[in-house]
Amino acid sequence: MTVLEQLREKNPDLRLYSVTDPAFAPYGQILPLPETEALSAALQRTPIPQSGNCYTASDPALEALDVVARVGASAFGGMPMQAGYCNGRGFMLNAEEYHKCSELNYSTTGAVLLLALPSDVHDRSLDAADVVGFYLPPETMIEVYPRVLHFAPCRVQPDGFNCLVVLERGTNAPLPSVRPDAPGEEGLLWMRNKWLLCHPDSPQAKNGAFVGIYGNNLTLQI
């Protein structure tokens, strides 16, 4: 039984696909890589915490790789970019964010991305039932399109996940202030180039982020 088949068996209420499935097309695309050995080695040296997730926006070792520079230059059209990682053992939806640029992801462990389309958001609200899971197999580079909602990946094995995160430089940096009580999209702006909706039961809600996800706080069983 494949990893995806096992995940589907244990999560019958969650729509789950591989990023190789045509269902991924509205959300992103697979990016071909000329070689993955150096990238995989560098990513495997990044730490996976014993609990929760960690995020580093800019990692010099990853940014120094020729393969990252090439694929990033193509994806972002020459705009300044940053390459870091999100690693951890997370398994819940909790929140969804979007950027107004693409995001590139790559993993050596495999992971599940919980994604939603901009059209799934109505009046700053997202039904968790509209969120779709996509399995990212090891050593597969993907582009998640601008405005597609996503958040930290979910682990598919007890030892956790690693995930390369390439974005336009400055994304996810702190803002001088945020206004979750502001009307419209301004109320969702949580960090630079990061608009966030969270579930009421999430840590993000406790930190004051805009509550805009209703329904079950999805949990990925492995």
pLDDT in tens, the chain (222 residues): 899 999 999 999 999 999 999 999 999 999 999 889 999 999 999 999 999 999 999 999 999 999 999 999 999 999 999 999 999 999 999 999 999 999 999 999 999 999 999 999 999 999 999 999 999 999 999 999 999 999 999 999 999 999 999 999 999 999 999 999 999 999 999 999 999 999 999 999 999 999 999 999 999 999
Q: How many domains is the chain partitioned into structurally?
A: 1
Q: Is residue 142 part of a domain?
A: yes
C-alpha span between 111 and 95 (Å, rounded): 17
Looking at residue 174, the DSSP 8-state letter turns out to be P
Structural domain for 152, as ranges:
3-7+14-214
So what's the pLDDT on residue 34? 85
Q: Is residue 100 part of a domain?
A: yes
The per-residue pLDDT for range 169-178, each reduced to its tens digit, is 999 999 999 9
Cα→Cα distances 110→21, 34, 57, 172, 178, Å: 16, 19, 20, 23, 34
Question: pTM of this prediction?
Answer: 0.97
Residue 153: CB partners within 8 Å, gap ≥ 6? 86, 90, 105, 107, 111, 112, 113, 136, 161, 163
What CATH number corresponds to the domain at position 189? 2.60.120.10
C-alpha span between 156 and 204 (Å, rounded): 23
C-alpha span between 220 and 33 (Å, rounded): 29
Q: Is residue 221 part of a domain?
A: no
User: How many CB atoms are located within 10 Å of the residue 162 CB?
Assistant: 25
Q: Is residue 210 part of a domain?
A: yes
Q: Is residue 219 part of a domain?
A: no
Instruction: Return the structure tokens found at 209.
Output: 């982020």
C-alpha span between 162 and 27 (Å, rounded): 21
Q: Is residue 222 part of a domain?
A: no
Q: Is residue 128 part of a domain?
A: yes
So what's the pLDDT on residue 198? 98
Please identify which residue in the block is written with the tokens 């949580």: 190
Q: Is residue 220 part of a domain?
A: no
